[in-house]
């Protein structure tokens, strides 16, 4: 059965860009293929003078990849959307240009700014509130601003145009099924909540180590680095879901209030040479492929000292978490992909005398790709029944039928901001990392090096995969 979207037109600005081709159109295609975008028209716009045919070809080619996931109706819907889509060559920062386009499209319209942040800002500034029809939704990509102040300015510009619940700040990690599953795991299982606090949990690690290197993205990444690119946005969102108080519902108001309360209590404490680490990769080999030094990648300016691996220890100063370190780490060009949250429990208060073998702390591991859940426990045997042994209970989790961008887009198209970052939260995420960025700029924390394809520098805070917590 096909479900109808509240939004009638999805207008993508920056339609010829990389983000649209790589993530947005595939996410949309899955939605359409599954009959979850009935009644929606797609319109592309950008400063490139694509012909309507070139744009349609681009859309059809991307949509073709989703045909396998579609039934007959889904295939027909994909074809219909690809054939009917329009393209408008406009400079959306020019006075009146975006307003004219917006006024000409069947509403409500969701305007997706798949543009560099400063261009999005200019495009929004060029709009006047009376040029924005009621019901319009504004969809902003990350990074949202470049610091707390610019995020505040951008929030100010946007709320002049539409109400807060019509602004969607995209963080596609909120569309990852396993990330959302943290809520199901925590709040639909009675045994976890009593131990989900500082009395029983020793540390939490949220790790997103990628084996991808720069992948030609110097234009964006060299000005961002791992802390801004991953930790300031995605990993803080995951942390908030791990740490939040039980909401009464998982509707947008309750859930986003709970997320915001965690982030307001969070900070990274000085001295930053103890609470943070940064490093940059040098030449190496990843799965048989040679990778050059980061500083020799095309478009990189070595003088920027951009980090490709970052690790920070976040403190959440509230009753539940005071004193529990939350270690957030992410980097590029590592030898092993490791994408997981690891919750390490405290040791038992007293191990009955007579046991031998190792009593290691329990660990709960939530894998974000592959999507898995693992619980490490100590049990007796085999062999000597008084010798402790480690076992792991493991389950593969079901992937969603939509891609993360599809999940997020579905919220936009149905007028639900649940999977979007709220304005105050976007500012708080910058407030948390900004002192670190300033300290790194001053050179307080050395920029270490690691070989591409290796495990990263030694002696950092996060424990190795399947290792036990440090003393």
Q: How far is the CB of 23 from ligand BG6 (least distance, A)?
A: 8
Q: Which residue lies nearer to ligand BG6 by CB, 108 or 404?
A: 404
Cα–Cα dist 225/136, whole Å: 33
Q: How far is the CB of 404 from ligand BG6 (least distance, A)?
A: 6
Q: Are 318 and 465 in contact (CB under 8 A)?
A: no
Q: Which residue lies nearer to ligand BG6 by CB, 141 or 202?
A: 141
Bridge partners (DSSP) listed for residue 203: 344
Helices (H) and strands (E) in the chain, counts: 15, 20
Q: Which residue lies nearer to ligand BG6 by CB, 50 or 235?
A: 235
Joined together, the tokens standing for residue 174 give 């909120």
Read off the DSSP letter of residue 177: H
Q: How far is the CB of 215 from ligand BG6 (least distance, A)?
A: 8
Q: Which helix (DSSP H) or strand (DSSP E) does residue 111 occupy?
A: strand 109-113
Cα–Cα dist 456/332, whole Å: 10
Asked if residue 210 binds ligand BG6 (CB under 6 A), the reply is: yes
Q: Is 166 one of the annotated active-site residues of the chain? A: no
Q: How far is the CB of 238 from ligand BG6 (least distance, A)?
A: 12
Restricting to residues 167-206, name those near ligand BG6 by CB under 6 A.
172
Q: Which residue lies nearer to ligand BG6 by CB, 168 or 172?
A: 172
Q: How far is CA 257 from CA 164, 193, 250, 443, in A?
A: 14, 19, 10, 36
Q: Which residue lies nearer to ligand BG6 by CB, 18 or 384?
A: 18
**Environment class of residue 324 by beta-carbon count within 10 Å: exposed (0-12), middle (13-18) or buried (19+)?**
buried
Q: Which residue lies nearer to ligand BG6 by CB, 105 or 279?
A: 279
Active-site option among 88, 166, 172, 234: 234
Cα–Cα dist 17/417, whole Å: 25
Which residues have a Cβ under 8 Å from the Cβ of 392 and sit 6 or more positions away? 374, 375, 376, 377
Triad 73, 68, 77: Cα angle to 5°: 25
Q: How far is the CB of 78 from ligand BG6 (least distance, A)?
A: 23
Restricting to residues 81-110, name those near ligand BG6 by CB under 6 A.
none
Instruction: Report which of 234, 58, 5, 70 is spatially closest to residue 141, judged by C-alpha positions.
Output: 234
Triad 62, 66, 70: Cα angle to 5°: 145
Cα–Cα dist 59/79, whole Å: 10
Residues binding ligand BG6: what is the number (CB under 6 A)? Answer: 4
Cα–Cα dist 44/13, whole Å: 6
Restricting to residues 376-415, name those near ligand BG6 by CB under 6 A.
404
Q: How far is the CB of 225 from ligand BG6 (least distance, A)?
A: 10
Q: Which residue lies nearer to ligand BG6 by CB, 173 or 272?
A: 173
Residue with tokens 């039928």: 401
Q: How far is the CB of 116 from ligand BG6 (least distance, A)?
A: 13
Restricting to residues 278-337, name those near ligand BG6 by CB under 6 A.
none
Of all residues in this chain, which one has the CB nearest to ligand BG6 in the complex?
229
Catalytic residues: 234
Q: State the residues that interact with ligand BG6 by CB under 6 A.
A: 172, 210, 229, 404
């Amino acid at each position: 059965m096909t479900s109808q979207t509240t939004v009638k037109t999805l207008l993508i600005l920056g339609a010829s860009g990389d983000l649209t081709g790589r993530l947005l159109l595939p996410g949309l295609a899955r939605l359409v293929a599954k009959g979850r975008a009935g009644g929606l028209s797609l319109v592309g716009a950008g400063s490139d003078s694509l012909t309507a045919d070139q744009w349609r070809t681009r859309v059809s080619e991307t949509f073709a990849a989703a045909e396998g996931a579609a039934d007959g109706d889904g295939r027909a819907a994909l074809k219909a959307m690809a054939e009917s889509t329009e393209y408008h060559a406009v400079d959306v920062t020019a006075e009146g240009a975006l307003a004219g386009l917006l006024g000409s499209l069947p509403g409500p319209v969701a305007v997706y700014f798949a543009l560099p942040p400063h261009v999005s800002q200019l495009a929004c500034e060029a709009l006047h509130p009376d040029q924005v029809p009621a019901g319009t939704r504004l969809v902003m990509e990350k990074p949202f601003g470049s610091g707390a102040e610019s995020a505040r300015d951008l929030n100010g510009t946007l709320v002049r145009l539409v109400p807060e619940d019509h602004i969607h700040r995209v963080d596609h990690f909120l569309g990852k099924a396993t990330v959302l599953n943290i809520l199901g795991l925590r709040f639909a299982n009675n045994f976890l909540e009593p131990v989900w606090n500082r009395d029983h949990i020793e540390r939490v690690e949220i790790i997103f180590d990628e084996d991808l290197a720069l992948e030609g993205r110097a234009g964006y990444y060299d000005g961002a680095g791992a802390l801004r690119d991953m930790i300031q946005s995605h990993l803080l969102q995951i942390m908030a879901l791990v740490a939040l108080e039980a909401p009464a519902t998982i509707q947008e108001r309750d859930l986003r209030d709970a997320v915001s309360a965690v982030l307001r209590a969070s900070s990274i404490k000085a001295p930053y040479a103890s609470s943070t680490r940064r490093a940059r990769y040098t030449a190496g080999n990843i799965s048989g492929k040679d990778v050059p030094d980061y500083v020799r990648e095309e478009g990189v300016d070595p003088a920027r000292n951009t980090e490709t691996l970052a690790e920070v220890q976040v403190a959440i100063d509230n009753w539940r978490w005071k004193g529990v370190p939350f270690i957030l780490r992410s980097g590029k060009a590592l030898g092993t992909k490791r994408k997981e949250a690891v919750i390490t429990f405290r040791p038992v208060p007293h191990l009955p005398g007579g046991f031998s073998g190792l009593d290691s702390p329990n660990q709960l591991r939530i894998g974000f790709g592959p999507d898995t859940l693992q619980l490490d426990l100590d049990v007796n045997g085999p062999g000597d029944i008084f010798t402790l042994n480690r076992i792991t209970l493991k389950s593969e989790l079901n992937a969603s039928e939509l891609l993360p961008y599809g999940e997020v887009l579905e919220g936009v198209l149905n007028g639900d901001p649940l999977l979007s970052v709220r304005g105050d939260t976007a500012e708080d995420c910058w407030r948390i990392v900004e002192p670190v960025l300033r300290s790194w700029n001053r050179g307080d924390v050395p920029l270490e090096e690691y070989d591409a394809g290796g495990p990263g520098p030694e002696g950092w805070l996060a424990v190795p995969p399947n290792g036990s917590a440090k003393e």
